[in-house]
Amino acid sequence: MKTDFYTKVILTIIAVALTLNLVKSSITPAMADTKKYVTLPLNPDGSINVNINKMNETMDVSIKA
């Protein structure tokens, strides 16, 4: 009998948490991201020069789409 009671309690807690999550998402709708995008200067071969803040060296990075 203890196993049955334990299972019911755990399932009730899960059901309450899911219901609260559903109510929360309907009260506060998701907002779109308002970040602005910038263009980066490319080298003639299509690479971008990257400078890491804590290092004084330049590292070549190739991004492949």
pLDDT digits (tens, 9 = 90+) for 5-25: 999 999 999 999 999 988 877
pTM of the complete model = 0.41
Q: Is 46 exposed, middle or buried (0-12, 13-18, 19+ CB in 10 A)?
A: exposed
The CA-atom distances, in angstroms, between 58 and each of 4, 14, 15, 39, 55 are: 64, 52, 54, 19, 8
CA-wise closest residue to 49 among 61, 65, 37, 63: 61
Its domain, for residue 54, covers 2-61
- Computed over every residue of the chain, the mean pLDDT equals 80
Number of domains in the chain: 1
Structure tokens, 48: 């971008």
